[in-house]
């Protein structure tokens, strides 16, 4: 997968998430979307050799941040919006921290499920 193909796939996933979030999302649905973005990024970035590990992690977390910015507001009931706008930056930081930890675990699972290269 080329970097452009990976970026297009992530943007397509986020666009689909926006459509899905139009009717509102639960927190568990949002969590599933975060894991899906991380899995897609890990699978795609494993094939890209021009980036090192920290750059790949930063790119993946950037994708999670973009997803958060796109759909997180739809997880919050309208009545809670005044409080949400105060807490949103802290929640975003918390989501990115959790995604960083989840990334390490998903990376291990994705690589374990990948077939061994034939020498």
Write the DSSP symbol of residue 117: P
What are the tens digits of pLDDT across the range 10-59?
Answer: 999 999 999 988 888 898 999 999 999 998 998 888 888 888 888 889 99
Residue 107's pLDDT is what?
Answer: 82
Measured in Å, how far apart are the chain's first and last C-alpha atoms? 21
Residue 99 tokens read as 């995604």
Q: Record the pTM.
A: 0.84
Residues 6+ apart with CB under 8 A from 18: 70, 71
The three-class DSSP label of residue 115 is coil
């Amino acid at each position: 997968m080329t970097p452009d193909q990976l970026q297009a796939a992530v943007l397509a996933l986020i666009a689909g998430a926006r459509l899905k979030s139009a009717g509102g999302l639960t927190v568990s649905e949002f969590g599933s979307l975060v894991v899906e973005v991380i899995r897609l990024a890990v699978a795609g970035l494993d094939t890209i050799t021009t980036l090192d590990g920290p750059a790949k992690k930063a790119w993946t977390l950037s994708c999670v941040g973009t997803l958060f910015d796109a759909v997180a507001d739809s997880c919050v009931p309208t009545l809670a919006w005044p409080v949400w706008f105060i807490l949103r930056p802290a929640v975003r930081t918390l989501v990115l921290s959790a995604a960083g930890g989840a990334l390490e675990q998903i990376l291990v699972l994705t690589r374990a499920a990948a077939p061994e290269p034939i020498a």
